[in-house]
Structure 1
């Protein structure tokens, strides 16, 4: 075979291999395109089953009722079983393409993914199911997540040791534990106004014998915090003073306005007080602050039981005990101490 004929044969062989390679590449791209199109029809980008064996919400397994998916790198769960597990109502608006979850005063809204709003809560429609991001939605509702091996536990704020303290502890232990959670309470956030000063002020009032609810004043807003569904939830709020401006004055008594039901812009139901309130009221500047301990009777009369300040000297024994425990010497717990589940 001449050199020229050999070269022509080699060229034909190379062209055939190139043609086969191009055909296979075209077939692969077509298959990939069809797969992406199919995923788009389902409203998801390559959903995958997870390796997690269980998701537990408030001690109840979610995995046995719902299929879990990984979508866009996030663990997603079906809307309905999740909402039922956390005790929330839900609404899927197909026209507006948004999901609404309602557990607290403010609804939680999830929108379809947008390039302009990367931080918003989103959802995915897979087949006929609406999927929501487990971690993001749980955090927004106030729950904590803990991964243990292949299990994810979703708990309310009051669980574990602090749950034991609040539900089973004595008055002093339970009240202290609940106050620590107070700033993370769930409420509609009536805007509080604060004086333009370094004056410190805090008010806590517990019904006599109780540890599962208390009143507190923050700025010019008074709130009632109650333990509900494993959370410290604000169930009542109202303005008990005129908004502060640059000149700070104390020309009003916030407790008097509340007790006479003269709070403004009230939210929730005004609570009926049929027992004395034990209070701790701190005011002052830095190290010069003073704390007052006392009781407000059912006739709305104030009984000052003791005062601490700087320096603390010559205090009666009863005042020292109240100071240490935020509990009257003769007071015992009378509210329901729920059994641990």
Structure 2
């Protein structure tokens, strides 16, 4: 499932127009692609001004500390799978769910550890110059959230430029004002001291130099405000968000395992009393160093132990040896 992106050109232009109108265009420090997992559900056309605003997104001011926390997707673990006769085939390593992020991170999920047989992925994101999105598998084998997360970073940074002259005026506004005021004051002082001709000449020279300097500055090329970073290749080619794949061994291997488990079951590896009727028509029991007790001769006990340790099939009807019988688990 891919992340959602919202970036029509008209809205981007409107964003810059609003930034210019509100006189903070030169204050922009970063332009970054953000999937909506990062963004609180405020809408894309609302204008929301918050205290200490640090980010601006497509017509809405967003507080940089705001985050979004929502259920990103839910997948039924056991739907859209081949029919299998043995439930063991629906467990790891014969079957698992692979969650992959667009930057190549892989998380293998064992379906038997999921709550209610559902893969629930939650997304959490942050708004800052280097955004991060965490895709978290919820309620998985008792793990805490970030223990089962894909953390995606490296979203592309976009370059932007600003008017160099406008930046110069913004940075030197007071200094330029003082230069003009100082020259005017000097001219007045010289006129009062009966040196009016020199005062006019000096003022004319100052005005000429000042205008020439301003025109030189106006002729400078625009300056870069935010730097480019990362690559937009994935986004431009629709490679983003996460993908969820259900992976199972090939059919020919499933058939081999099903036939074997149908006749002999699979290792249980527990110390307990054996179950003689866990399946419908027959049960195969094989033990390791079984402990058999009874009021019978020792030779007979040893024979029974050897039978169990070698493996024995218990049939539940008059069809002994008929392995074509369906033998589903009870």
- Higher Rg: 2
TM-score computed with the length of structure 1 as normaliser: 0.24
Structure number with the bigger relative contact order (C-alpha 8 A, sep ≥ 6) is 2
TM-score computed with the length of structure 2 as normaliser: 0.25
- Structure with higher helix content: 2
